[in-house]
Chains A and B, each alone.
Chain A
Amino acid sequence: MIDKNNIYFVSKSEIDKVLNHKLNKFDKAKLLSLICRLNTLSMVKLAGSGHLGTSMSAMDLMIWIKFFLKKKKKLNDPNRDIFFSSKGHDAPALYSVLYALGIISLKKILKLRRLDGLEGHPDVATSGVEANTGSLGMGISKAKGMVWAKTYQKKKGNVIVLTGDGELQEGQIYESLQTTYHQKINNLIVIVDHNKIQSSQYVKDIIDLLNLKKKFQSFGWHVEKIDGHNFQHINKIFNKLSKIKDKPKIIIADTIKGKGIKKMEHPYVMKKNSRYNWHAGAPNDEDFFYFQIELIKKINIETKKKIKMHLKMLNVANVKQKSQILEIH
């Protein structure tokens, strides 16, 4: 029974039931993405602030990359596959994935945006975080430095970096697009989490990106467009890109800001409001309850259907009693 006053998580031991189940990887990805969405929502509610919209739009890409694309290697293995988000605002999504992978603890998750907990934007002091990000525009440059270093040191492993679409307004992005191509740093994949909203408005109304595909192609990159919430698409494109060696690669992933929670998804919100209101900040208690219920119901339906079991929900806090935390945008 779900109590509307509680904040629920799916614990690692329950997640392991899904991970250990003989389920095809697309169904598994779908279940994991629901679980990680719930944990992300709860984490942000507990913290009192955090970027939910972008966490939800990037979630499916992160799930696929971290669970199904990366080869298992130790965290500091120089041959490891590297993934990081340049925008970094989606840190709650990343943390929920790192928790599901067993890389960070529940104790940490419960201390998002708290001293000695998890930083609001990624920091390498946190296990599994590859770069300090959050200030926009630096990620492609950093990633190409990593690829260069791997090549120079004759190390294996691919490097994938995720950017936002609003982030593409930063000038450094275009510096890095030019140099990556010129320096023949081809073993790099950039993914644009193209959710069409930056802060609270449409990207096209702030500064229009125009034809992104043509833009990237004119910089010499190989460009693909996909549905960033469709695991079959995501899988197919990574297989295709692994064969392209003569150019750096960029995937424009069409996504939905707030994906997975109906009233947080941008097409719904933008029809109702003139502003997207889930960019930053935690939902109030009432909204939180409805969002949480929606995700828990989806998890229950999927687990019943796919793995014939019911995942226990871990109550970590009471919404009324949790300490007051300032909302910072």
Chain B
Amino acid sequence: MKLNKNYWITTSFTNELIKLAKNNKKIILLDGDLADDADLYNFKKKYPNRFIQNGIAEQDMVSMAGGMSLMGLLPVVNSFASFLTARANEQIFNNASEKTKIIYISLYAGLLPAGAGKSHQSTRDISLMSNIPNMKIYHPYNYLEVKKILNHCIKKEKNNCSIRLSIGPPFKNQAKLNKNYKFVDGCGHVMAKSNQKYIIITYGQLMISQAFMVRELLKKKKILIEIINFPSLNYFNKYWLKKILNNKNKIFILDEHFKTGGFSDIFLSFVNDNNLNKNKTFKKIALDDFPSCGQPEEVLKKHNLDPQSLYNKIYSFIKND
């Protein structure tokens, strides 16, 4: 993977937004003074009249977007997920209750980078956003998937969208998506196949990369675990899921979020409600404490999300099979 910035999720998002805005004059970008972190000033350069700098005033920004969408525009609202989805949650709920459509950029979603600490790491936004009935939440895996998801959100989706964006470059040797990769809302994507009964379901560049490292470690024990990238975090296609889970009986859900109310919780509720859990064991692997501050490796280890800890946990559940 080249380290060209176009391969960053954030930069790719912005490039695609600029492209989509060309033919859709309704797209307006609002920013809470965090455009730098996603190269969103490139949008401003291209469309100065369609970029609103709203300063560090998330509640005001979100309600302003609400007023704009009531008048037929399509606002795209940017701030860090931890500020946007939490501080302005009531405003987001209020907008959603008007049945308009707004796209929220939940920037800096997840555990990493961890240097800024818990005020900035966003590990509860899925829970906050999923409690809004007409809100779809996505977490794209890489530069390619983010384009597909943004296209879906802007062109097809009727609901409000929260697009979680990981900050930072892609990981070294990160698995690629096929260039013909198609994003289908509610469906995942098999990143690594296995005929054995084990599967990891996860999303995002960090967790999928961790999953691949766990897969390598498990191989040494002659265990081959399947990896599913599931970027639609609160909307599931039952039939696709049924097919994927068909021959599996140990399912590990890896979630870059608090254990309560995150992807793993929503996923398990869905599985339960749709009777997809027969003869299967599901394990949630997620955060159960405030996200720690530190270097990526040490923080992952602290939360038992480093490859070795993940391996230990997963192996302990399958070694007696």
Contacts and interface: CB of A to CB of B under 8 A. Distances in A.
Interface residues of A, number: 32
Contacts of B28: 152
Given A148-B52, A152-B49, A179-B57, A172 B67 contact: no
B71 A145 contact: yes
A15 interface: no
Interface stretch (A109-117, A124-132, A226-234): A124-132
A143 interface: yes
Contacts of B59: 137-138, 141, 171-172, 175
A138 B97 contact: no
26 contacts: A130-B70, A131-B66, A132-B97, A132-B98, A135-B90, A138-B63, A138-B91, A139-B63, A141-B60, A142-B70, A144-B67, A145-B65, A145-B68, A145-B71, A149-B68, A149-B72, A152-B73, A153-B73, A155-B71, A172-B59, A172-B60, A172-B63, A172-B91, A176-B63, A179-B54, A179-B57
B308 interface: no
B94 interface: yes
A224 interface: no
Nearest to B59: A172
Nearest to B65: A145
Interface of A is mostly: helix
Interface string B80-101: 0000000000110010011100
Nearest to A185: B64
B83 to A, nearest CB: 13
A317 interface: no
B115 interface: no
Nearest to B60: A175
Contacts of B55: 178-179, 182
Interface of A: 78, 123-124, 130-133, 135, 137-139, 141-150, 152-153, 155, 171-172, 175-176, 178-179, 182-183
A119 B66 CA distance: 20
Given A153-B72, A176-B57, 12 more contacts: A78-B72, A137-B59, A142-B66, A142-B70, A144-B64, A145-B63, A145-B65, A146-B67, A175-B60, A176-B63, A178-B55, A179-B57
Contacts of A141: 59-64, 66-67, 91
Nearest to B99: A124
Given A142-B67, A145-B66, A152-B49, A176 B60 contact: yes
Given A175-B57, A179-B60, A146 B70 contact: yes
Interface in B23-66: 28, 49-50, 52, 54-55, 57, 59-66
Nearest to A129: B98
Contacts of B61: 141, 179
B65 A178 contact: no
Contacts of B57: 172, 175-176, 178-179
A-B interface, 5 closest residue pairs, ranked by CB to CB distance from nearest: A145-B67, A141-B63, A149-B71, A175-B60, A175-B57
B94 A153 contact: no
A131 B60 contact: no
Nearest to A125: B99
A150 B91 CA distance: 21
Contacts of A145: 63-71, 75
Interface in B133-152: none
Contacts of A178: 55, 57
